[in-house]
Amino acid sequence: MLKIICALGFLAWSFGASLSYAQPVTVAVASNLKPAFEEIYKGFRQTHPQSKIVRIVYGSSGNLASQMKQGAPYDLFISADESYPLKLAEAGLTRDRGVVYAAGHLALITNSAAGFVLNSDPESIKALLRGSKKIAIANPDLAPYGRSSVQYLQAMKLWGELQERLIFAENISIAAVYVSTGAVKVGITALSLAKSSELSSTIQYIALPDDLYAPIRQRMVLKRDPAPTAVTLYEYLQGPVAKRILVHNGYSIPQQD
């Protein structure tokens, strides 16, 4: 009888372990990070070949945070700001308050075929924006880069004049695609996206001054009981290889609090 009980116990443990192993590791990533994260994850797989395959979900930070609140099984949430991860931490949904892994920057982009000449002179930028029928930015209610874009337009004294011409994209990547495809000729996006090879043949860009919008400090957090692979990836993102890739893609690395 004891042997039967032990055997049943072993089977139950094995079944539970199999279920645990079968659970996918899912990482939610803010859209601005897509080019850099793809490069980082490729290196992670090469140096951690035994780790489980990660399912990556890209989107606006607001949508991803909302999905996590509603029970989406995101082991790691890599946000485009600090507020969404910290709200999840306050709600008790994360292991801790996480870390700031990068600081983002804004870029003005135009469709290459539109024939605009870009330069960093503020008056030239104002003239370009004032002459644009439509301007693509990310939805400020969902995307931190959208909020920063609004701050930039306000600092340039253009918000009241231009807000009716703004085309709100669900996330910052879609705002860039609008300009890349020519659906909109001008937009404000993440510098990391503007620098990406995917857009290099279809857009031109200039970085916008950092002092005209609040710092875009990007934080990541682990869920309360993360998969081991997610923890390893979280630590890898704080390492020297990931940091070099982030800087190469237009981010800066802020000092930790």
Residue list, annotated binding site for molybdate:
61, 172
Question: Rounded to whole angstroms, how far apart are CA atoms 42 and 53?
Answer: 11
| List of residues 6+ apart from 144 with CB closer than 8 A | 30, 61, 79, 80, 81, 83, 84, 104, 216, 218
Supply 237's token pair.
């993102």
Exposure string over 40-49, b if 16+ CB within 10 A, otherwise e:
bbeebeeeee
CA 141 – CA 241 distance, rounded (Å) = 33
Q: Which amino acid is at 192?
A: S
**What residues are designated binding site?**
61, 172
Residues sharing a CB contact under 8 Å with residue 197, sequence separation 6 or more, in sequence order: 35
